[in-house]
Amino acid sequence: MDQRRIRNRLLYVIMGCSTGIFLGLGVFTFHYAKGSSYFTSDPQACVNCHIMQDNYDSWQMSSHRLASDCNGCHTPHDFFGKYKTKAIHGIRHSWAFTTGHFQEPMRIKQDSLDVVEANCRACHSQIFHAADAVAQTAGEGACISCHRDVGHMR
């Protein structure tokens, strides 16, 4: 066997082992992080990450626990929007918590605030006739700027 064939075989073995290790770590991480629970609407899934415990506890004390779960406020109500948002949040949270680069207390990002605002308006559409004038002058996130403690008691 010439050296070129040996080198190619060695390259295939290294690539195969690297791919296997990468996939194995991915499956292990998904299983360890209870990844399948994120496909549900169970609020307990949000507590898989210990840093969300305060948010979960405060939601349980809020009036909104009877009306909505985490997804009801923090993800769009359509199928693709919901899972796209969950994927983006999952990747963002995984990166932040793995690297330790996040603020405490956690702060909502503008794209998430936009989703929460849209969901406030969807669920409370009948009372928004008067509030729309205020929201337009107050800017994005007008609901939360005045009703910060509604979903999560502080």
16-46, pLDDT tens digit by residue? 999 999 999 989 988 888 888 888 889 888 8
Token digits for 18?
């690297």
Token digits for 31?
């299983």
Look at residue 154 in the predicted model and tell me its pLDDT.
61
Look at residue 76 in the predicted model and tell me its pLDDT.
95
Among 77-81, 98-102, 122-126, the range with the most confident prediction by mean pLDDT is: 77-81
Task: Assess whether pLDDT exceeds 70 at residue 131.
Answer: no
- Decide if 32 contacts 97 (C-beta within 8 A): no
| pLDDT band at residue 10 using 50, 70 and 90 as cut-offs | very high
Average pLDDT, integer, range 6-21? 95
What is the identity of the amino acid at 152? Answer: H
Name residues whose C-beta falls within 8 Å of residue 61's C-beta, 6 or more positions apart in sequence: 153
Look at residue 134 in the predicted model and tell me its pLDDT.
62
Look at residue 150 in the predicted model and tell me its pLDDT.
74
Average pLDDT, integer, range 106-133? 82
